[in-house]
Structure 1
Amino acid sequence: MEHKLSTQSRQEFDRIMVDKLSVLRNTFISRTAKFDAFFTELLDNAKRDLHEMFVRTYGLLYQQNSHVFTDLFNDLRSYYKGRDLNLLDTLDGFFVTLLQKMFLLLNAQYTFDDKYMQCVAEHMDQLKPFGDVPKKLAAHVKRAFIAARTFVQGLSIGRDVIIAISKVGPSQSCSRAFMKMMYCPYCRSLPATKPCNNFCMNVMKGCLASQADLNTDWNNYIGALLKLATRLEGPFNIESVVDPIDVQISDAIMNYQENSEAVSNKVFQGCGQPQMSRNKRSASSQPSQGSSSRSSRGPYEYDWKFSQKPYVRPTTAYGTSLDRLVRDIRQKVVVSKDFWKSMSHSVCNGIAAPLVDVTNCWNGLGKSRYLPEVMADGAMNQLSNPEVDVDIRRPNFVANQQILRLKLITNKLNNAHNGLDVDWIDTSDGKEDMEEDDVSGSGSGSGSGDGYKVVDPDLSFTQPTRKPVVVRTHTPPRGEYPREDRPYSSAPSAHVQSTLPLVTILLLASVLAATGHMTS
């Protein structure tokens, strides 16, 4: 009989713990999944928006080089998913590659090798072909991505802590005390008598001593999570950075187009005068830059007169906006402060007699007042617990492990709030612990150095500070870039339609045929 009651009381204890943890557990599981899905869809939308705009704006010129932009979005996604990337280097590498591609297109009448293009790349900081767009975009992307990645990992750590603690069973002493509190009244013919509230409190404070020790670090964690959430709603808003990234990159391209002659002249002075290409088109075969008739347009010219009406891009992903999503998360997690310390009260409010009923309750011996004082929270305060023996010399390993995880993620959340770099935490072990029902959620040149006169870069440039950059000469096969028949979420921005110089498009179209030797 005693063994049967012990088993039944253990099952009852586990059921109560699952019931008390389920709401908080499901909140962190669902919000982690929802934020992750939102961010992933936000990146997908931005990638499709850029492709749609650039296909309409730059046509085949973009399609032949779309892998440059795809690589950027792939790197951003990889960083968010935990890859060890330096975001500033990633954005810098993207604009270096973009500079090289555009320099070749805008100077297609010349022949360049990899060494020459490396010289171009090494001096991008002095050339500033894209204006201040790369610097501003890199700064915004870095702080927003760090904040978003750390925030979602903060949520996942909270989720994993709750899941781990929910699997901690009662000690033998706790099981005996719980059985005495819940089932011994039956032996005294008092089946309807509930435990005295203070009696229940001492039992549960002893049983949940290790869980209560999480409370301080949990509160610090929740505070850091909420602080970072305010950044996501303000200056570190990832939606305001990712959503218009196509327009910002197009602005950078236009900056270079408008200053391409000055940039090329400075490159020729610093890196050497290149040799004219043998396949150079004659000037008479190029369309007049002053002509605006459709007959003078290149075969890939985008005709603004027949463009579609500006399409207003959706401002949401995953059926919500970042502000609403973060606001919802804040409202859900803020109520979990002091959760671990209040568990004893929460349990006893459900199974024990009311506080005012101090005599008509079970005190462990009979139907009478419970006299011992109620212990404070935490393992160190249970030395004198009259109901549960807590061995403070043998701390709970699982609880201590979760305390260390909370301390670590709290520090990273605070660093992200301050705009500092944050390393990724490997949470694969935590994910493996989740049950199934927890988931709710790279040349155009020969490389010989022939064809141009090498000059001392210091004649026109200061000594470069960049590391050598290898020219990307890979041309993707047909079908590598996103298909044009795929549904997209937006069309070109009206800003780009109204500001892109027509003469530049004509220039790009006119030199396209001269680039065959580079792409063949």
Structure 2
Amino acid sequence: MEHGRVKIGHRNVIAQRSSEHGSDADLLICKHQGPTCCTRKMEESYYAAAQRDTLQNILSYSFELKYLILGHAFSFQDTFHSLLSFTLNHTYSLFDSTYETISRDAKPLVSTLFSDLDLYLRGDANISVEHSVHSFYDKLFPLVYQHLVNPGLGSNISTWSSEGSECLRATRHDVNPFGPHPQELAQGLSRALVAGRALSRALAVGADVLNATESVGMARQCGRALVRMLFCPHCRGLTLIRPCGGLCLNVMRGCLAGLAELDGPWRRYVALLEALSGVLSGGYEVELALLRIRERINDAILTAQLHGPHLSAVVGKVCGSLTEPVSSTPVSPTSRRLTPSVNPTIELQISVTSSSSTTLPDTGNQHEHITLKRRSLPLKPSKNDKPRSLKKISKEFMGYIQRYKSFFSTLPEMLCEGEVVMDENTCWSGEDVVESYTGHVVGNGLQAQRHNPEIKVRSADPILVNMKEKLEHFNQEMWGEMGLGTDGREDVETSSGDAAEGSGECDDEDGCQGSGRSEDETVLTKKETHVRSPPRDPFIPAQPPISRTNPAHITTISSVLFLPLLLIIQLLLWTEGF
């Protein structure tokens, strides 16, 4: 989508000359000795046109950056959605094919878990992966214990009590029926998804920064300086002369002094985006972690089954009797206990066929069908859009975002280059036609404007001051939280804002060689996730057990290593055809 930039000082904003030459007695900005072609009303029109056109040009540049951030934010979320949908169906198929007796009641628990993971990846502050995983296993325990560990405990004269089911949920952490597998799943998902979540939050903050810059107007002193630079020559009949380069830089740097204050925090922010994208482009950790959900759940259920007798003894001591006499109006033992509420922000509906081609029965349960709600902003409107791997999207984003590292410090140059200043022997100095601009050209930022000869800048807009503080706080929080080796300040001091050589477009998936990171590249150090470790009873082994009665359902060492590779290949092929 192309947004053409408005050329400042375009002929169509030049008002018609007065029929008679007047004086500058009534003019406020374009005063000079001698006759003038302008009136006070024309000067006011120039003032409005100068501000409007300059703001439009700023928006045209910031739109490109904003589109890059919002477009890739959607692209990342779309890929996360595809991964979650695929692995959700992959997990559903476990219950449909292996644990059919609890499939109907377990699927709502699975859908809630995946809904939480979706919200977590979107940056929801109220979601904890650790809590969601342990909550899933808490609610799964009564189902496993009743239908798989003690399927014959109920009878025609007794049924499961709600108090018994609640006791199983409440004591799951202490009884530890699933061994180490809940903890391993929680830790694995936390480590794998933290970079994706951080990137989602960072992209949202970047969009907020650009929205704030677009809402800031121009000070009156800026408008007057723009009129002197762009339109005062017209009052003398000099319609072809262009401003000197030094004059334009002084005026633009004065007008954009508040935006230039964002330069330091923005450079550190872009360095953060590069680091997070580098993590996601380094391999398939997210994909593998999601695919292992099914494996971890299966291992947990097998652990409970294989130690059923001992587990029953422990539960009997902790919870006592789990049944009660059948009442005259019996209530389904599962209908009154394990129907979780799914977050209303998630639309539940299956849109992808599982790898085992299992068709889900229409039971009327709203939790049986899940798809994670997509954003409405299209990255590309083409009907041929296909979800791409996180690795490809991340490498692409890294290549693009580097170009905007110095956006706020180079914006004045971009506004002046080629649109206002022309390479001629003479130019407009703000007062007269000269061969070269002799005034002192200041740098960027508020401090430098104290010596600006063209415009007096007192302070930055409060909106920009608040946004600078917000961005600095976010950078500090994320660099510390993610365990990065540097907070990006070193990059700000040494980098001039130029993009690094190579945009990272060479991809291992495309058969390129030597696409690994260089030694001096910023690398995200995976911070150890501190997750509470549940106490384990002596009867639960530290490693997945081997079943002799049902070997078909046991994941062997070779399958643990080989199955994820097959699923990764299948997942990549599926996303290309989605």
TM-score (norm 1): 0.68
User: CA separation in 2, counterparts of 1:216 and 1:51?
Assistant: 48
Q: Does 1:100 align with 2:142?
A: yes
Matched AA of 2:115: N
State the alpha-carbon separation in 2 of the partners of residues 27 and 155 from structure 1.
10
2:115 matched to 1:67? no
- Cα distance in structure 2, aligned partners of 1:374 and 1:49: 64
Task: Map residues 301-450 of structure 1 onto 2, 5 A cutoff.
Answer: 319-353=387-421, 359-368=425-434, 369-392=436-459, 395-418=460-483
Instruction: Please say if residues 185 and 191 of structure 1, whose CA atoms lie closer than 8 Å, have aligned partners that are also in contact.
Output: yes
* More displaced 10-residue stretch of structure 1: 267-276 or 39-48: 267-276
SS at match of 1:261: helix
Cα pair 1:109 1:276 within 8 Å, conserved: no
Q: Does 1:109 align with 2:152?
A: yes
When residues 157 and 318 of structure 1 are mapped into structure 2, their CA distance, relative to the original with a 3 A threshold, is farther
Q: 52, 69, 80: which is aligned to 2:93?
A: 52
* Partner in structure 2 of residue 436 of structure 1: none
Partner residue, 2:553: 500
Give the direction of change, closer, same or farther, for the CA distance of 1:411–1:498 in structure 2 (3 Å limit): farther
AA matched with 2:433: K
Q: CA deviation at 1:137?
A: 0.8
Residue 234 of structure 2: which of 176, 186, 192 is its match? 186
For 1:146, which of 186, 190, 194 is the aligned residue? 194
Task: Give CA-to-partner distance per residue, 1:195-252, whole Å, 9 cap, x none.
Answer: 1111111010101000000000111111122222233345894333224422332232
Question: Is contact 2:283-2:391 (8 Å) kept?
Answer: no
Contact in 2 for aligned 1:375/1:382 (Cα 8 Å): yes
Evaluate the alpha carbon distance shift between residue 240 and residue 154 of structure 1 in structure 2; reply closer, same or farther with a 3 A threshold. same
- Aligned: 1:205 with 2:285: no
Q: What amino acid sits opposite 1:367 in the alignment? A: V
Gaps of 5+ in 1: 279-307, 420-463, 467-496, 503-520
* Cα contact 2:199–2:277 (8 A) shared by 1: yes
Tell me the equivalent position of 1:226: 274
- CA RMSD, Structure 1 to Structure 2 (Å): 3.3
Judge conservation of contact 1:122–1:465 (CA < 8 Å) in 2. no
Q: Report the AA paired with residue 98 of structure 1.
A: L
Distance in 2 separating the partners of 1:27 and 1:49: 33
Assess, with a 3 A threshold, how the Cα gap between structure 1 residues 204 and 100 changes in structure 2: closer, same or farther. same
Q: CA deviation at 1:123?
A: 5.1
Contact 2:73/2:203, CA 8 A, preserved across alignment = yes
Q: Which among 74, 89, 101 is matched to residue 131 of structure 2?
A: 89
Q: Which amino acid aligns with 1:110?
A: L
Does the aligned pair in 2 maintain the 1:382–1:390 contact within 8 Å? yes
Supply the distance in 2 between the matched residues of 1:390 and 1:275 (Cα, whole angstroms): 79
Instruction: Supply the distance in 1 between the matched residues of 2:216 and 2:418 (Cα, whole angstroms).
Output: 21
State the alpha-carbon separation in 1 of the partners of residues 440 and 143 from structure 2: 78
The Cα of 1:391 is off from its aligned counterpart by 1.1
- Residue pair 2:89, 2:355 contacting (<8 A) in 1 also: no
Gaps of 5+ in 2: 1-41, 155-159, 327-353, 359-384, 485-533, 537-549, 556-578
Relative distance call for 1:274 and 1:218 in structure 2 (3 A) is: closer
Mapped partners of 2:87, 2:535: distance in 1? 32
- The letter of the residue matching 2:244 is C
Which letter does structure 1 place at the counterpart of 2:213?
I
Q: Single out whichever of 37-46 and 338-347 deviates more from structure 2.
A: 37-46
How many residue pairs get aligned? The number is 392
Equivalent pair of 1:37/1:318 in contact (CA under 8 Å): no
Q: Is the 8 A contact 1:150 1:412 kept in 2?
A: no
Q: TM-score, normalised by structure 2?
A: 0.61
Q: Which residue identity lines up with residue 97 of structure 1 in the other structure?
A: K
Residues 1:99 and 1:274: Cα distance change in structure 2 (over 3 Å): closer
| 2:231 partner SS | helix
- Name the CA distance, whole Å, in 2 between partners of 1:52 and 1:310: 7
SS across alignment from 2:178: coil
- Give the drift of 1:60: 4.3
Partner in structure 1 of residue 244 of structure 2:
196
Per-residue CA distance 1:412-456 (angstroms, 9 max, x = gap): 32244239xxxxxxxxxxxxxxxxxxxxxxxxxxxxxxxxxxxxx
1:23 is aligned to 64
